Amino acid sequence: MRLTFTIQRLNPEVESRPHDEDYRLEVSRGMTVLEALIRIKHEQDATLAMRYSCRSAICGSCAMEINGSEKLACRTSVRKEWERHGVITVAPLRNLPVIKDLVVDMTTFWGKVRTVTPWLSSPPQALAETTGPMRLLPGSYQFHNVDACILCGACVAACTAHEVSRGFLGPAALAKADRFVSDPRESAQAKRWRLLQLEKDNGIWDCTRCNFCVQVCPKDVKPMEAIIRLRRAAIAAGLDRTGGARHITGFTDLVRHEGRLNEALMPLKILRFSLRRLLHVIPLGIRMFLKGKVPNPFAPPIEGISQVRAVFDAFLTTGRPGR
3-state SS of 198-230? HCCCCCHHHCCCCCHHHHHCCCCCCHHHHHHHH
| Mean local confidence (pLDDT), 293-322 | 77
Strand residue runs (E) in 27-62: none
State the Cα angle at 291 between 290 and 292, rounded to 5°. 90
- Classify burial at 281, counting beta carbons within 10 Å of its beta carbon; exposed 0-12, middle 13-18, buried 19 or more: middle
Instruction: Between 320 and 177, name the one with better pLDDT.
Output: 177
Residue 183's nearest CA partner among 240, 118, 133 is: 118
pLDDT band at 321 (very low <50, low <70, confident <90, very high): very low
Poorest-confidence range of 64-73, 174-183, 312-321?
Answer: 312-321
Around Cβ 75, how many Cβ atoms within 10 Å?
Answer: 14
Q: Domain 2-103 falls in which CATH fold? A: Ubiquitin-like (UB roll) (3.10.20)
Instruction: Between 139 and 194, name the one with better pLDDT.
Output: 194
Poorest-confidence range of 191-195, 302-306, 313-317, 319-323?
Answer: 319-323
Element spanning 249, H or E: helix 243-258
Contact 185, 120 (CB under 8 A): yes
Q: How far apart are alpha carbons 98 and 96 in whole angstroms?
A: 6
Residue 123's nearest CA partner among 175, 192, 169 is: 192
pLDDT band at 138 (very low <50, low <70, confident <90, very high): confident
Does residue 240 have a pLDDT over 50?
Answer: yes
Q: Give the C-alpha distances (Å, rounded to integers) separating 55 from 121, 196, 235.
A: 34, 39, 42
Domains of the chain, residue spans? 2-103, 107-126+140-236, 243-318
Contact 211, 161 (CB under 8 A): no
pLDDT band at 296 (very low <50, low <70, confident <90, very high): confident
Phi, psi of 34 (to 5 degrees): -65, -45
Q: How far apart are alpha carbons 207 and 248 in whole angstroms?
A: 13
pLDDT of 91? 98
Whether the CA torsion 102, 108, 112, 117 is positive or negative: it is positive
Does residue 277 have a pLDDT over 70?
Answer: yes
pLDDT band at 319 (very low <50, low <70, confident <90, very high): low
pLDDT of 118? 94
pLDDT of 187? 87
| Mean local confidence (pLDDT), 245-264 | 87
| Mean local confidence (pLDDT), 258-287 | 81
Instruction: Between 249 and 138, name the one with better pLDDT.
Output: 249
State the chain's mean pLDDT as an integer. Answer: 90
pLDDT of 260? 84
Helix (H, G, I), strand (E, B) or coil at 296: coil
For helices 223-236 and 188-198, the axis angle rounded to 10 degrees is: 110
Q: How far apart are alpha carbons 168 and 115 in whole angstroms?
A: 11
pLDDT band at 303 (very low <50, low <70, confident <90, very high): confident
Contact 221, 211 (CB under 8 A): no
Poorest-confidence range of 128-132, 212-216, 248-252?
Answer: 128-132
How would CATH label the architecture of 107-126+140-236? Orthogonal Bundle (1.10)
Does residue 299 have a pLDDT over 80?
Answer: no
| Mean local confidence (pLDDT), 124-142 | 70
pLDDT of 150? 97
| Mean local confidence (pLDDT), 87-106 | 97
Give me the percent of the chain exceeding a pLDDT of 70. Answer: 94
pLDDT of 67? 98
pLDDT of 323? 37
Around Cβ 287, how many Cβ atoms within 10 Å?
Answer: 10
pLDDT band at 209 (very low <50, low <70, confident <90, very high): very high
Contact 173, 203 (CB under 8 A): no
Helix (H, G, I), strand (E, B) or coil at 304: coil
Instruction: Between 133 and 318, name the one with better pLDDT.
Output: 133
pLDDT digit string, tens, across residues 158-192: 999 999 999 999 999 999 999 999 998 888 899 99
